[in-house]
Structure 1
Amino acid sequence: MSASDRPSRQEISDAVTGLGWRLVLGAVYTEVTVSSLAAAGEVAALVVAAVRAGGQGHVSTDIRSDRVGVRLQSAAAATVTDVDIALAQAISSVLTERNVRLAPASVQALEIAVDALDIGAVRPFWQAITGYVDEAGPSDLTDGLIDPAGRGPAIWFQQMDAPRPQRNRIHLDIDVPHDVATTRIAAAIAAGGTLLSDARAPAFWVLADPEGNEACICTWQGSD
């Protein structure tokens, strides 16, 4: 699949938001709250029935006693494709028919960003120490590394222009649905944080805790 064949981030978001999904860090997510582990298993079974064989290599679920998370992304392309959008439509249709309410506002993805002067020199260390693998295909990450089991946060590398010995050089990127970013930022500021920069908003906002340690709130917007 060429870049021209892939839907843009805006097209993806427009296609799935009304269905109860959100685009976060190159995948689309939704969640369903449940009352028991048994109920979670039933929801997961509905998801599998909705996608059938077409979900292979596209759908992953996280089953808990209080919720079921569903993630859609092409494993081969490492991005959301038209197939994933169609699967989101199928899943939403089946769950809605069963009066299951999708609640995407709580979904998020966590990244660890490593600031480096020489990315080529430091990246192999992080790959070796974590056991992570190269992210396949096009990506929302720069030189991204991912957990092959899909459990840990992604790692990416940000190019530094000059040494910054008095500033933390590893920070967290918290990728959230585009329509909850401002709420999350307001909560962080109310908790004692400071907004350092919104120059790249809505792609990301840079915040710091009371001691200056930085984190970014990120969305898909502003990245196309």
Structure 2
Amino acid sequence: MARDVQITFDCADPAALSAFWAEALGYRLQDPPGGFETWDQALEAMGVPPENRNDASALVDPGGRGPRLFFQRVPEGKQAKNRVHLDVRAAPGLEGDARMKALEEEAERLVAHGAARVQRFEPAPPMQAGHIVMTDPEGNEFCLD
């Protein structure tokens, strides 16, 4: 039986990191519970103190295809290289120079939103199409693929 998957990010600032990933993936903030127009209204009604209102955030794929992304505040910072990372498919169907140009354009766009560029890997046919390693605003690695 196939299962739904949620991807969870430990982070220092759930609101900021979820905003970055919403921009990177075209996701949107999960709607507040029924009966509330905003998350602030919902959290107020739930009795969540203001200092805890950025303890978590969640994003959903507007098309309903991708997994939910959950961001939770943790006290410790990132310690080492990710063992699992996201590949953001920014150039599907493209090859060679056209592919790398599309990846470079997306890298530039995401840097403007707080990402950092780590390394570019050139195409090496037949097995490697080329990609760019990036980090999100909190240092989590991901690839533009």
TM-score band w.r.t. shorter chain: 0.3 to 0.5
Tell me the TM-score normalised to structure 2 length: 0.38
Higher relative contact order structure (alpha carbons within 8 Å, sequence separation ≥ 6): 2
Tell me the TM-score normalised to structure 1 length: 0.26
Higher helix share: 1
